[in-house]
């Protein structure tokens, strides 16, 4: 299971923006493989082990935060805002949240080599959208919170107002991760 350097680099930038002291604290808490990637600076075009992504996310949250997942959520939000540049900014200005979530689902495999992400709209409520990630052999709360943070930022950037956010997470690889959003 792997993820792109684009995703790992987002974590790297997030920590670097917090200063050298924060970066050194995170490095000191990482295992050898993740530490080497962070020291060298992850390359966007390289695929890295998913376990490194999880380790980075959890370590950053624990070392720079309280370990409650809030920084993982923030890193998902940061990734949305930081990584989508150029032509993609147009989507945020003119696309609604359903459109953005559909695009994210279709682009899942450009960032991860596992899982299946789908988006569906409630036929009775067009402002209600469900995002589901299935077939994840090693579910991670870090991945779950990062995706949720990404959607919250996508809603904000598109001018949508989330009125409801429900989610379902399980450590069971046979159970999909699911997020349900209603927005104005």
Positive/negative CA dihedral, 39, 45, 48, 53: positive
Measured at the CA of 76, the angle between CA 73 and CA 79, to 5 degrees, comes to 150
The verdict on residue 83 lying in a domain is: no
Q: Is 107 exposed, middle or buried (0-12, 13-18, 19+ CB in 10 A)?
A: exposed
**Rounded Cα–Cα distance for residues 46 and 1 (Å):** 13
**Which residue carries 């150029």 as its tokens?**
86
Question: Which of 74, 143, 71, 80 lies closest to 114, judged by CA?
Answer: 143
Give strand ranges (E) for the chain. 2-4, 47-49, 116-122, 125-134, 162-168, 177-183
Q: Could you read off the pLDDT of 59-109 as tens digits, one per residue?
A: 999 999 999 999 999 999 998 887 665 545 555 555 667 777 888 888 888
Of the candidates 43, 78, 113, which is a domain's last residue?
A: 78
Question: Which of 169, 142, 116 lies closest to 59, judged by CA?
Answer: 142
Same-domain check for residues 49 and 125: no
The verdict on residue 150 lying in a domain is: yes
pLDDT at site 87: 45
The verdict on residue 9 lying in a domain is: yes
Residue 140 confidence (pLDDT) above 60: yes
Same-domain check for residues 73 and 131: no
The verdict on residue 106 lying in a domain is: yes
Same-domain check for residues 46 and 119: no
SS3 48: strand
Q: Could you read off the pLDDT of 141-176 as tens digits, one per residue?
A: 999 999 999 989 888 887 888 898 899 999 999 999
Q: Could you read off the pLDDT of 38-66 as tens digits, one per residue?
A: 999 998 889 999 999 999 999 999 999 99
SS3 46: coil
Same-domain check for residues 74 and 92: no
Same-domain check for residues 73 and 27: yes
Of the candidates 35, 58, 78, which is a domain's last residue?
A: 78
Of the candidates 78, 102, 124, which is a domain's last residue?
A: 78
Same-domain check for residues 61 and 116: no
The verdict on residue 96 lying in a domain is: yes
Same-domain check for residues 155 and 110: yes
Same-domain check for residues 92 and 172: yes
Helices and strands in the chain, H and E counts: 8, 6
Supply the mean pLDDT for the chain. 89
Determine the structural domain holding residue 73 and report its residue range.
2-78
What pTM did the predictor assign? 0.89
Total number of domains in the chain: 2
**Rounded Cα–Cα distance for residues 82 and 15 (Å):** 13
């Amino acid at each position: 299971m792997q993820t792109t350097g684009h995703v790992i680099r987002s974590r790297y930038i997030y920590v670097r923006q917090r200063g050298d002291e924060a970066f050194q604290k995170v490095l000191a808490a990482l295992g050898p493989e993740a530490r080497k990637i962070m020291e060298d600076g992850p390359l966007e075009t390289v695929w890295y082990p998913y376990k490194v992504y999880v380790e980075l996310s959890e370590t950053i949250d624990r070392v720079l935060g309280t370990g409650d997942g809030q920084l993982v959520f923030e890193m998902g939000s940061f990734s949305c805002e930081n990584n989508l540049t150029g032509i993609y900014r147009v989507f945020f200005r003119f696309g609604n949240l359903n459109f953005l979530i559909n695009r994210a689902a279709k682009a899942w495999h450009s960032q991860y080599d596992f899982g299946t992400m789908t988006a569906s709209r409630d036929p009775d409520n067009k402002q209600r959208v469900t995002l589901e990630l299935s077939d994840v052999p090693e579910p991670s709360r870090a991945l779950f919170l990062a995706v949720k943070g990404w959607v919250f930022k996508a809603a904000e950037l598109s001018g949508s107002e989330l009125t409801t956010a429900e989610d379902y997470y399980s450590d069971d690889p046979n159970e999909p991760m699911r997020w349900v959003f209603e927005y104005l």
